Amino acid sequence: MGVHRNFILLLTVTLTFVTCNVSNSKIEDACNLSAELKAEIASYSSTVEKIINAAVDGSFKGVTYQELSLFVDTFGNRIAGSQNLENAIDYMIDKYTADGFDNVHGEEVQVPHWVRGSESAILVEPRNATLSILGLGTSVGTPPEGILAEVLVVKSFDDLQSKAGQAKGKIVVYNEDFDSYFSAVVYRSNGATEAAKVGAVASLIRSMTDFSLNTPHTGLQSYEENVTKIPGAAITIEDAHLLQRLQDEGKTIKMLLKMEAQNLPDTTSRNLVAEIEGTEYPEKVVIVSGHIDSWDVGEGAMDDGGGVFISWGALALLKSLGLKAKRTVRSIFWTAEEFGYVGAYQYAIDHANETDNLIFMMESDFGTFNPIGLEYSAGTTGGCILQEVMKLLASINATGTRQSPAVGSDIEIWTSDGVPGASLDTESEKYFWYHHSNADTLEAESTDYLDKNTALWASVAYVLADLSIDFPRETTDG
Amino acid sequence: MGVHRNFILLLTVTLTFVTCNVSNSKIEDACNLSAELKAEIASYSSTVEKIINAAVDGSFKGVTYQELSLFVDTFGNRIAGSQNLENAIDYMIDKYTADGFDNVHGEEVQVPHWVRGSESAILVEPRNATLSILGLGTSVGTPPEGILAEVLVVKSFDDLQSKAGQAKGKIVVYNEDFDSYFSAVVYRSNGATEAAKVGAVASLIRSMTDFSLNTPHTGLQSYEENVTKIPGAAITIEDAHLLQRLQDEGKTIKMLLKMEAQNLPDTTSRNLVAEIEGTEYPEKVVIVSGHIDSWDVGEGAMDDGGGVFISWGALALLKSLGLKAKRTVRSIFWTAEEFGYVGAYQYAIDHANETDNLIFMMESDFGTFNPIGLEYSAGTTGGCILQEVMKLLASINATGTRQSPAVGSDIEIWTSDGVPGASLDTESEKYFWYHHSNADTLEAESTDYLDKNTALWASVAYVLADLSIDFPRETTDG
């Protein structure tokens, strides 16, 4: 779809951080929406209030949390390649089908099948200590007896280059700064490869988070062709700092790293599609989405159970209120997002000739905390329309809009090619506390926030799917 | 010392929460300190400023953190009975001796020797999941093959009684509320015994904390005589809630619990004493203290590395400034606090005839966060004196005093018998995030806060040791 996959692999969620400095007021100044269109949008206020009331204080109150809870309690985490993921997809297909949604089906995708196995990192010098680690997705394992080697701590790739002469035969530990996920995640993606290039035997990164209670965080890494594949794992902030201090104190550091990680043959998974068909233009589609796979730790309740269940909730809430829009509202649960938008890429290929009918694409993959509004990728007129639409969310204080060159994670495949779209914008300051860790459980979710997010998701999807005009597809001009 | 040991065992740190509603202003109204005494205390302001300046902006700036860092990096955690603890004590004896302190020595104590071994809890029904656990101190282990049993979740001891008929042969999980450590810790202390009484085969408690990132917290438990000893461990908040939900959903829950925990014969440890001898009344003593043992997880940097090192720092700072008080300032590093003030009890026995010379006892065992002031156990006049003394700490905003019927942990043995004392009062809202967990590392500490706490500790100890009058020993009348 015009965006190089490796580039996308690197970016995943991160691009949501790179927002343009286009203030709302500046956009508003540039807005030349017709009085008729503004009035038309405003006329949805009673419908949106009905949606909001049902979600936050009525028949749908608490339902999103309750269903998410039942789902994660039943299946736990759901890594690509696992039977657990397929069971979870079957469950959701059955659920959508039983509730009478339109066009409910799975669409097959070949996905990676990486298994962690058991893993450990024991500090053996200068003193004995067990470090908490999580191997990184796609990492190879160690030999069964493990890798016993000296440790070299570096602060950056530049620092690694300056110490390249010392790296041979060592376990390189990246104690990189976490100024942002975007700036740090290259160490997770490429750390093992860069370490291997200078002769290291394994690579450990400091986990991608700004706060830890001895919490390691996994995530995707990749290998470069023709470079030796060495094991890659994440250690905690605490241990990265410890190793840095020990090195700074001049101590010799030795570690025994054992990882059973294996890359098995690809397996078949499915993207899951369900719809409320449009009454007038069923071929035209507004999409609400999240990804149903997770990492193999915690419960995948935040990443991305929340995104999946507000997308389910948006459809279920609209249906419960008898709201059918002129255009189709489609929910998609992407599969294997965590391995680089694998499901979404397949969907893009399989539906390449339907792109013109993708009116607006929404994805929630940055947490379902207290909602602020939307982060969007659209042109000026589109931004103006969204501003008007979001005014309808005033009663839940989620009227914000901010333009971004890249939104969502899976939907970035389309938005980067000019399809308008948006990701959910929430008070996500603690997102990385939980992200890709065993702490990603239902505790990261709140019933009230989920209700508000379901209301927002349903409202925006309904209004954009029902407007008299198609959402304008313009070049992003922010 | 007049307080029943089992009572103390239960209370440990917790009593710091039970503070009296005696506002500062109320005490101030009741203050009838002589103008001379108030003037005398105020006359220490230049000395205290010198202490503070050295600690927060001078020659001692950063030293407490640096020394604590070196200590925990070198030894890691230090459970009673371990060689690690004895090595750490030797290191500190050497350090005090090399720096020329007075009367540096260890005093032998027989301490419990509990070893954790490996441990695991696997949820096998209704789905497979590995739970993070920490066995509780003094717990027995399971048979080598583990205990495979159904789970019964209860909210309280009352709830357990109401479900007593269902408990036989089961693993009881206490999903107790954590309104406070004080109200919750009885489940850690007595959970296994109470569960055994109704026929349970093991006992799991929800960890003693208000926030978790999949973080289990260990701590002391005890067995009642003539009740079957069953294994006791802590699970995370997340998993306690998960098990509660699964039970509420009507699911059968089965778990395989394996613990290698063993109680070995007592070993010899030491309380560590070092002093700056008083110039006029060397037999009269003001004590600054913390405990040098920790649990066998994390690094014991907060509990109680911080307390130990501000006590070391107080002496080192006074010495570096050439400040010798009229009375002796003694630092004590208690051993085996975590097993019920074992070192402190031995000290009380060994020094029973010196109690009258214990002028004022200080202990820091509730974190060394940003200091607020002191929590004290003393009579009205004592409280009034402390208020005047703490005014000297205005430049670091740590002038607070609050009366409590029970302060400290080890020193409670004496303060409950009328010896005046105080514990450090800090912004400890996050104390239980780290407490007794693998997250108790140097990350919980701050170099600036340690500097301020060392300054406070040194200032109060010096002034109280140097005043023209002995700190008054009155019945606590709050």
A73–B245: do the CB atoms touch at under 8 Å? yes
Dist. CA B333–CA B191, nearest whole Å = 30
Residue B171 sits at φ, ψ, to 5 deg, of: -90, 115
Dist. CA B291–CA B307, nearest whole Å = 7
Q: What is the pLDDT of residue A29?
A: 61
Dist. CA A283–CA A327, nearest whole Å = 7
B213–A437: do the CB atoms touch at under 8 Å? yes
Dist. CA B151–CA A327, nearest whole Å = 50
Domain with CATH 3.40.630.10 in chain B: 5-114+265-466
Q: What is the pLDDT of residue B475?
A: 62
Give contacts of A82 with chain B, Cβ < 8 Å. Answer: none
> pLDDT category, A475, cuts 50, 70, 90?
low
Mean pLDDT of A383-400: 98
- Per-residue pLDDT tens over the stretch A75-117: 999 999 999 999 999 999 999 999 999 999 999 999 999 999 9
To the nearest whole Å, the CA of A451 is away from the closest chain B CA by 20
A214–B441: do the CB atoms touch at under 8 Å? yes
Q: What is the pLDDT of residue B13?
A: 38
Mutation to test the B interface, candidates A127, A206, A213, A245, most B Cβ within 10 Å: A213
Mean pLDDT of A204-214: 98
Find the closest chain A residue to B241 by CA distance.
A443
To the nearest whole Å, the CA of A157 is away from the closest chain B CA by 25
Dist. CA B404–CA B391, nearest whole Å = 19
Dist. CA B433–CA B444, nearest whole Å = 9
A354-368, A405-419, B35-49, range with the lowest pLDDT:
A405-419
Give contacts of B126 with chain A, Cβ < 8 Å. Answer: 74
Q: Which of A337, A338, A388, A412 is catalytic?
A: A337
CATH number of B5-114+265-466: 3.40.630.10
Dist. CA B435–CA B18, nearest whole Å = 19
Give contacts of A298 with chain B, Cβ < 8 Å. Answer: 214
Q: Interface of chain A against chain B, CB under 8 Å?
A: 69-70, 73-76, 126-129, 132, 212-215, 237-238, 241-242, 245-246, 249, 298-299, 433-434, 437-439, 441-443
Lookup result for tokens 């999240």 = A290
Q: What is the pLDDT of residue A28?
A: 56
To the nearest whole Å, the CA of B30 is away from the closest chain A CA by 45
To the nearest whole Å, the CA of A462 is away from the closest chain B CA by 33
SS3 B314: helix
Dist. CA B126–CA A247, nearest whole Å = 46
B238–A212: do the CB atoms touch at under 8 Å? no
Closest Cβ opposite residue B73 in set A70, A74, A249: A249
E strand spans, A36-143: 102-115, 119-125, 129-131, 133-135
B214–A75: do the CB atoms touch at under 8 Å? no
Domain with CATH 3.40.630.10 in chain A: 5-113+265-466
Residue pair B182/B15 in contact by the 8 Å Cβ criterion: yes
**What does A211-244 look like in DSSP terms, one character per residue?**
--SS-----B----TTS----EEEE-HHHHHHHH
For chain B, how big is the Rg over CA atoms in Å?
Answer: 23
Tokens of A175: 């104690």
Q: Cite the active site residues of B.
A: 337
Residue pair B80/B342 in contact by the 8 Å Cβ criterion: yes
Number of neighbours of residue B42 by Cβ within 10 angstroms: 12
Strand partners, A174: A154, A205
Q: What is the pLDDT of residue B405?
A: 77
Task: Give, rounded to a whole angstrom, the gap between the first and last alpha carbons of chain A.
Answer: 21
Strand partners, B269: B109
CATH number of A5-113+265-466: 3.40.630.10
To the nearest whole Å, the CA of B256 is away from the closest chain A CA by 18
Mean pLDDT of A62-78: 98
* Residue B21 exposed, middle or buried by CB count within 10 Å (0-12, 13-18, 19+): exposed
Strand partners, B254: B125, B150
* Residue A35 exposed, middle or buried by CB count within 10 Å (0-12, 13-18, 19+): exposed
Report which secondary-structure segment, H or E, holds B256: strand B254-259
Dist. CA A447–CA A452, nearest whole Å = 9
Give contacts of B442 with chain A, Cβ < 8 Å. Answer: 238, 241-242
**What does B424-453 look like in DSSP terms, one character per residue?**
EEE--TTHHHHTTSTT-SGGG--HHHHHHH
Q: What per-residue string of b and e applies to A331-360 under the rule 16 or more CB within 10 Å gives b?
A: bbbbbbbbbbbbbbbbbbeeeeeeeeebbb
Closest Cβ opposite residue A214 in set B74, B215, B249: B215
Report which secondary-structure segment, H or E, holds A87: helix A83-98
> pLDDT category, A26, cuts 50, 70, 90?
low
Cα Dmax for chain B: 73
B237–A75: do the CB atoms touch at under 8 Å? no
B126–A74: do the CB atoms touch at under 8 Å? yes
The complex's ipTM works out to: 0.93
To the nearest whole Å, the CA of B302 is away from the closest chain A CA by 13
Find the closest chain B residue to A125 by CA distance.
B74
C-alpha distance from residue B257 to each of A353, B150, B176 (Å)? 55, 11, 20
Tokens of A27: 């956009």
Residues 6+ apart with CB under 8 A from A267: A80, A81, A110, A111, A113
pLDDT lower than 50: segments of chain B: 1-23, 476-478
The answer on pLDDT for A40 being more than 50 is yes
Give contacts of A245 with chain B, Cβ < 8 Å. Answer: 69, 73
Dist. CA A288–CA A290, nearest whole Å = 7
Mean pLDDT of A385-411: 95
> pLDDT category, A208, cuts 50, 70, 90?
very high
Domain with CATH 3.50.30.30 in chain A: 117-260
Task: Give, rounded to a whole angstrom, the gap between the first and last alpha carbons of chain B.
Answer: 21
SS3 A79: coil
Number of neighbours of residue B422 by Cβ within 10 angstroms: 29
E strand spans, A387-462: 400-403, 421-426
Q: Which class does domain A117-260 fall in?
A: alpha beta
